[in-house]
């Protein structure tokens, strides 16, 4: 993304940048060719809000199954940039199954 260092009023400077990948980062600050004495500065970036469009699912149940057999579906919550999201609670996830010829709906 676009980044810049902007001089504010007086002797303050602001670094402007856009990070799309969650994770741990470090920011090195230089004055001319010399590293700032307390640099680098560590910071963490978390994922953005949940994106239904970027969330994926996989598992045997999506490929087919057998009557009476246990099947598994894995759901991978992601933000718009594809970063994995750890949901606050398992109750944030629900699924429903419909069909089977009788129109029944099973909520999990």
Per-residue pLDDT tens digits for 44-84: 999 999 999 999 999 877 877 788 888 888 899 999 999 99
Q: pLDDT exceeding 70 applies to what percent of the chain?
A: 96
1 has pLDDT over 60: no
Ranges of beta strands (E only) in 8-78 are 13-16, 23-27, 30-31, 34-35, 41-45, 56-58, 74-76
State the residue range of the domain holding 65.
Answer: 56-107
Residue 36 lies in a domain: yes
Q: How much is the pTM?
A: 0.71
Do both 79 and 99 map to the same domain?
yes
Do both 60 and 103 map to the same domain?
yes
């Amino acid at each position: 993304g676009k980044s810049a260092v902007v001089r504010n009023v007086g002797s303050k400077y602001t670094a402007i940048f856009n990070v799309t990948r969650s994770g741990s980062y470090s920011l090195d600050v230089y004055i001319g060719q010399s590293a700032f004495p307390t640099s680098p500065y560590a910071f963490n970036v978390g994922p953005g809000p949940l994106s239904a469009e970027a969330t994926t699912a996989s598992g045997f149940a999506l490929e087919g199954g057998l009557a009476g057999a246990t099947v598994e579906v894995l759901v991978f919550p992601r933000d718009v940039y594809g970063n994995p999201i750890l949901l606050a609670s398992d109750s944030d996830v629900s699924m429903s199954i419909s069909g089977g010829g009788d129109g029944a709906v099973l909520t999990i």
